[in-house]
Amino acid sequence: MKILILILTLGLAGLAGWACAQETTPAAKADAPIEVIAGKGFSLSLKSNPTTGYRWQLAKPADAAVVKLVKNDYQADSHPPGMVGVGGKEVWAFTAVNPGKTVLEFKYVRAWEKDKPPVQTARYEVIVTGKKPEPK
């Protein structure tokens, strides 16, 4: 009986993980530009579940004259100890380098499936403005 419960629990966890991987809830709205001051950092959060093999990638390199990728990290959602297949989010951190506009395009893919289209995409327009004046 314990084995049956374990199998059912793992099966449900796997289905929940698959459902999380199919949904993207970015921190910033993809239809609204992200405005940031040159020299400041900003981040984007994308729902993810690497246990499915899917990860977010930049679809094309960021425009280094406008923004610089600092890092991207996966943060698992809170879950009971020992639970597997839990989703979370990938947090992509950038620094605004110089005033200008660029588009950050992401694709949710399995790295080894080179010939398959992404299961999801996300697109963010970034507008970097000049530095704030120093207080007098």
Bigger pLDDT: 53 or 26? 53
How many domains does the chain fold into? Answer: 1
User: What are the tens digits of pLDDT across the range 81-94?
Assistant: 888 888 899 999 99
Cβ-contact 65, 110 below 8 angstroms: no
Cβ-contact 121, 22 below 8 angstroms: no
Cβ-contact 26, 124 below 8 angstroms: yes
CA 60 distance to own-chain centroid: 15
Q: Mean pLDDT throughout 59-64? A: 95
Q: Would the pTM count as exceeding 0.75?
A: no
Does residue 40 lie in a domain region? yes
Range of the domain at 76: 2-129
Does residue 136 lie in a domain region? no
Does residue 88 lie in a domain region? yes
The CATH number assigned to the domain holding 48 equals 2.60.40.2020
